[in-house]
A and B are shown apart, each in its own frame.
Chain A
Amino acid sequence: MGYIMMLKDKTVLIVDDDDGYREILCDEFEYAGAKVHSAENGMKAFEIVKSQKIDAVVSDIRMPGGSGVYLLDQIKKSYPETPIVMLISAFSDLSTEDAYNKGADALFSKPCDLSQLIQAVHLSLKPKNERLVRKFERLASDFKVEITSTSLKEAIETQVLSLGRGGMFVAGQWESLNIGSRVSYQLMSNNKVKQIFEGIGVCRWIRKEPEMGLVPGIGIEFSDLSQESLKSLENILIQLRPRAFIPKGTDGD
Chain B
Amino acid sequence: MSHLKPFKVDIKGKNTVVVLILAAVLFASYFVWSTINEYESLTSLQKKYLKIIELKGIIDQYDEVLTMSARMAAATGELKWELRYRKVEPLLDQAIKESISLQPQGAQMADSTDAANIKLVEMENQAFKLIGANRLSEAMDVLSSPDYEKYKLIYSTGMKDLSHNIYETIENDLSKIQSNAAKSKFLMLMSFLFLAITSVYFLKKLTQSNQNIISLNASLEGKVQEQAQILVQASKMRALGEMSAGIAHEINNPVGIIQGKTQQLKRLLQSEMWTPKKGLEELDKIFYQTDRIAKIVRGLRFFSRCNEKDSPIPVEIQTIIADVVELCGQKFKINNVTLEVNIRSDLTVQGQVVQLGQVILNLLNNSFDAVANLSEKWVRVSAEPIGHRARITVTDSGQGIPAELIDKIMQPFFTTKEVGLGTGLGLSISKGIIEEHNGIFWVDQKSRNTCFIIELPLYLSKKDLKVA
Binding site for B on A (CB under 8 A): 1, 18, 20-21, 23-25, 27-28, 31, 62-65, 89-93, 109-112, 114
Check if B248 is an interface residue, CB within 8 A of chain A.
yes
Q: Which residues of A contact B288 (CB under 8 A)?
A: 20
> Interface-forming stretch among B222-230, B330-338, B378-386, B409-417?
B330-338
What is the distance, in angstroms, from A21's C-beta to the closest C-beta of chain B? 5
A111 with B289: CB separation less than 8 A: no
Check if B260 is an interface residue, CB within 8 A of chain A.
yes
- Selected contact of A112 from candidates B256, B261, B333, CB within 8 Å: B256
- Selected contact of A64 from candidates B244, B261, B336, CB within 8 Å: B336
Q: DSSP class of B's interface residues: helix, strand, loop or mixed?
A: helix
**Can you name 26 A-B residue pairings with CB atoms under 8 Å?**
A18-B257, A20-B253, A20-B257, A20-B285, A20-B288, A20-B289, A21-B256, A21-B260, A24-B261, A27-B264, A28-B260, A31-B267, A62-B334, A63-B334, A64-B334, A64-B336, A89-B252, A90-B248, A91-B248, A92-B245, A93-B245, A110-B256, A111-B256, A112-B256, A114-B260, A114-B263
Q: Closest A-chain residue to B337, C-beta based? A: A64
B285 with A111: CB separation less than 8 A: no
What is the distance, in angstroms, from A64's C-beta to the closest C-beta of chain B? 5
Give complex CA distance A31, B254 in Å: 20
Q: Closest A-chain residue to B258, C-beta based? A: A111
Q: Closest A-chain residue to B331, C-beta based? A: A62
Give complex CA distance A48, B254 in Å: 26
Interface residues in B300-318 by Cβ distance below 8 A to A read: none
Number of interface residues of B (CB under 8 A): 24
Interface string of B330-352 (1 = CB under 8 A from A): 00011110000000000000000
The CB with the most chain B CB atoms within 10 A, among A21, A89, A92, A109, is that of: A21
Q: Contacts A20-B285, A89-B249 given; indicate if A27 touches B260 (C-beta within 8 A).
A: yes
Q: Which residues of B contact A21 (CB under 8 A)?
A: 253, 256-257, 260
Check if B259 is an interface residue, CB within 8 A of chain A.
yes
Give complex CA distance A27, B288 in Å: 18
A65 with B336: CB separation less than 8 A: yes
- Selected contact of A18 from candidates B253, B259, B267, B336, CB within 8 Å: B253
A110 with B252: CB separation less than 8 A: yes
Give complex CA distance A109, B245 in Å: 13
Q: Which residues of B contact A63 (CB under 8 A)?
A: 334
Check if B401 is an interface residue, CB within 8 A of chain A.
no
What is the distance, in angstroms, from A32's C-beta to the closest C-beta of chain B? 12
Q: Closest B-chain residue to A67, C-beta based? A: B334
Q: Which residues of A contact B334 (CB under 8 A)?
A: 62-64
Interface residues in B393-417 by Cβ distance below 8 A to A read: none
Binding site for A on B (CB under 8 A): 244-246, 248-249, 252-257, 259-261, 263-264, 267, 285, 288-289, 333-336
Q: Which residues of A contact B257 (CB under 8 A)?
A: 18, 20-21, 23-24
Additional A-B contact list (18), CB under 8 Å, known A21-B253, A89-B249: A1-B263, A20-B254, A24-B256, A24-B264, A27-B264, A28-B260, A28-B263, A63-B334, A64-B334, A91-B244, A91-B248, A91-B249, A93-B245, A109-B252, A110-B253, A110-B256, A111-B253, A114-B263
Give complex CA distance A27, B255 in Å: 16
B259 with A114: CB separation less than 8 A: yes
What is the distance, in angstroms, from A120's C-beta to the closest C-beta of chain B? 16
Give complex CA distance A28, B261 in Å: 10
Give complex CA distance A21, B253 in Å: 6
B248 with A64: CB separation less than 8 A: no
Q: Closest A-chain residue to B241, C-beta based? A: A91
Give complex CA distance A208, B167 in Å: 102
Q: Which residues of A contact B245 (CB under 8 A)?
A: 62, 91-93
Q: Which residues of A contact B289 (CB under 8 A)?
A: 20
- Selected contact of B252 from candidates A23, A25, A27, A111, CB within 8 Å: A111
Q: Which residues of A contact B256 (CB under 8 A)?
A: 21, 24, 110-112
Q: Closest B-chain residue to A25, C-beta based? A: B260
A64 with B249: CB separation less than 8 A: no
Q: Which residues of B contact A27 (CB under 8 A)?
A: 260, 264
Give complex CA distance A110, B261 in Å: 15
Give complex CA distance A65, B257 in Å: 22
Give complex CA distance A63, B334 in Å: 5
Q: Which residues of A contact B335 (CB under 8 A)?
A: 64
What is the distance, in angstroms, from B326's C-beta to the closest C-beta of chain A? 16
What is the distance, in angstroms, from B128's C-beta to the closest C-beta of chain A? 127
Give complex CA distance A92, B248 in Å: 9
In the A-B complex, the 6 residue pairs with the smallest Cβ-Cβ separation, listed nearest first, are: A111-B256, A24-B260, A91-B245, A110-B252, A91-B248, A20-B257
Q: Which residues of A contact B285 (CB under 8 A)?
A: 20
Q: Contacts A21-B253, A62-B334, A65-B336 given; indicate if A89 touches B248 (C-beta within 8 A).
A: yes
B252 with A1: CB separation less than 8 A: no
Give complex CA distance A1, B269 in Å: 13
B249 with A62: CB separation less than 8 A: yes
Q: Which residues of B contact A31 (CB under 8 A)?
A: 267
Q: Closest A-chain residue to B244, C-beta based? A: A91
Give complex CA distance A111, B333 in Å: 21
Q: Which residues of A contact B267 (CB under 8 A)?
A: 1, 31
Q: Closest A-chain residue to B285, C-beta based? A: A20
Q: Closest A-chain residue to B332, C-beta based? A: A64
Q: Which residues of A contact B264 (CB under 8 A)?
A: 24, 27-28
Q: Closest B-chain residue to A65, C-beta based? A: B336
Give complex CA distance A235, B336 in Å: 46
Q: Which residues of B contact A23 (CB under 8 A)?
A: 257
Give complex CA distance A65, B337 in Å: 11
Q: Which residues of A contact B248 (CB under 8 A)?
A: 89-91
Q: Which residues of A contact B261 (CB under 8 A)?
A: 24
Give complex CA distance A229, B252 in Å: 40
